Amino acid sequence: MQGFGRSNVRGRRRVPSPPHMMQTFIQSGGARRQIKVMAEKDILPEDEIHLMREEPFSCTLCGRCCMTFGKYIKIDRQTGPQDYLCTETVTGTSFSVRVEDRFLPLFRRPSPQWTHPSACPFLRQGGEGFICTVHGSRPPVCRSYTCCGMRVMREGAVVGELRGRRDLKTGDAGLRAIWDEQIRRLDLPDPEWRRRVSDILEIEGFETAWYV
């Protein structure tokens, strides 16, 4: 992953010059270490440039996202024992889905639409939570949806989540102040914005985990 700063000599990069001595975190060989950057003349080896922590997203089966997707997914007709032709209402695009074999008994149960009219017609409640019974053939509108793009942690506890593209959900007053004062007005392309957000929050004592 590309580090910040511009190239200097082979295998090294310059660190941007701060207005005063600042603390930043870097990762090298799998371990996070804290260093002090004093001026632009200070040079870090390529393998010491800050790396963002990225993890695969793990769904908690809460069902909150799917409880509103019934507005966007309409079943037109059943085309087979487990197959359905549907329409995405926003774009008018037709698509086909198939109820997975392992979820067929679950799909035969009553739909959550009885109590949640906006729920996706293929959502069902199972023993561990809410299940998408057509997950393997779900449409692009579902595949592109991001529930949580990043989590912010302090001492192992989650104190904030990135919702949508760049909106923070948090009850931590300190984190909210940092976000509003230092991050909200950042106008950068997404990859650079992510690196900058990680730098700012980690300097302030938070940890970040981005989901890909």
Listed residues 143, 172, 191: the one ending a domain = 143
**Does residue 63 sit within a domain?**
no
Q: Could you tell me if 106 and 126 are in contact, meaning their C-beta atoms sit under 8 angstroms apart?
A: yes
- 136 plus 169 within the same structural domain: no
pLDDT value at position 8? Answer: 36
Q: Could you tell me if 71 and 77 are in contact, meaning their C-beta atoms sit under 8 angstroms apart?
A: no
Domain count, the chain: 3
Tens digit of pLDDT per residue, the chain (212 long)?
443 333 333 333 333 333 333 333 333 333 444 433 333 333 334 443 345 555 555 677 888 778 888 888 999 999 999 999 999 988 899 999 999 999 999 999 999 888 889 999 999 998 878 999 999 999 988 887 767 778 899 988 889 988 767 888 899 999 999 999 999 989 999 889 989 999 999 999 999 988 76
Domain that holds residue 6: 1-51
**Does residue 64 sit within a domain?**
no
In this structure, is the dihedral angle defined by the CA atoms of residues 27, 28, 29 and 32, taken in order, positive or negative?
negative
Cα(88)–Cα(141) distance, integer angstroms: 8
What is the pTM for the complete model shown?
0.52
Q: Could you tell me if 170 and 161 are in contact, meaning their C-beta atoms sit under 8 angstroms apart?
A: yes
Length of the chain: 212
- 106 plus 119 within the same structural domain: yes
Report which of 158, 148, 206, 149 is spatially closest to residue 182, judged by C-alpha positions.
206
